[in-house]
Amino acid sequence: MRNVYVNLHKYEYTLNNKYACNGNVLAVILVNSAPDKPSERMQIRNTWGSVRFHSGATVVTLFAIAQTEDDKLQSHIESESKQYVDIIQGNFLDSYRNLTYKTVMGLDWVHKFCNHTKFVLKVDDDTLIDTYHLVDYLLQRSPDGDIEDFLYCSTFRNQGPIRRSDDKWFVPMTEYPYSKYPPYCEGFAYIMSYDVSKKLYEATETVKIYWIDDVYLTGLAAIQARITHTNMESGHSYKLLDTDNLSKIVQSSLFLLAKYDSMRPNWDRAWDDIKSLHKK
């Protein structure tokens, strides 16, 4: 039996904001978020998500979430969406095992409401982006606006499923019987040209759902779509938001990752350094 949400694309949007991507758009950034993460969304809005125009290009940042069973929380989310017009909420329960639904939902939204964008980025909400650097890089890659077959990420190769039952990433043989995954993107961030996002989206019609979203979309679906990975240049793959040498790390990074909660206080400081760097 084919999965309704992934394979048949029966996405409906509790919250849509379908006009958030009007106009000429260089890149739409889809941030996978959870209903109970309003402070993380606000921190992104106040920092890298605040950059909507740079070097003549437009960037649109949206938060992809799913449903919550908490009515009070849902009411807060609806108010947040009305105020900031940057949330898309799908018709499935938000959970760790539903991340694949959420990631594919983001592509569904792009192809319905933002199919004029040149690039699509998927990022996690613990990833800080040097948006200025990002725009300059994308314009360099595609100065005339035409680019195809571009899937840009830090690529995992020769990785296999974890078979230890006490691990949160445990995968039984019944879910994935093979010893290795195909090459796939690290999930903190990856960049796709629009045609790649469309090909991956279309591949989900025939690729059986797998709950680890990065393996599913940029690994299994990428094979089906005959998409190859372009590995990130030195300095583009993420650096941790460590306190030590933070200003130096900012100068050479495109993505910074607050992998642990203890790193989150460094976020605003790193953003201040990024703004100072690009004012020069």
Domains of the chain, earliest start first: 4-159+185-234 (3.90.550)
Predicted pLDDT at 242: 82
pLDDT surpassing 70 at residue 203: yes
Global pTM reads 0.94
Of 154, 163, 207, 203, nearest to 183 by C-alpha is 154
Helix ranges (H only) for 32-130 are 38-46, 71-84, 99-113
> How sure is the predictor about 188, in pLDDT bands with cuts at 50, 70 and 90?
very high
Distance of CA 94 to the CA centre of its chain: 16
Residue 248's pLDDT band (boundaries 50, 70, 90)?
confident
Distances (CA, A) of 212 to 100, 102, 161: 6, 11, 10
CA distances to 99, 117, 126, 132 from 261, in Å: 21, 33, 9, 25
Residue from 217, 226, 227 nearest 181 by CA: 217
- Per mean pLDDT, which range of 1-10, 71-80, 122-131 is the poorest? 1-10
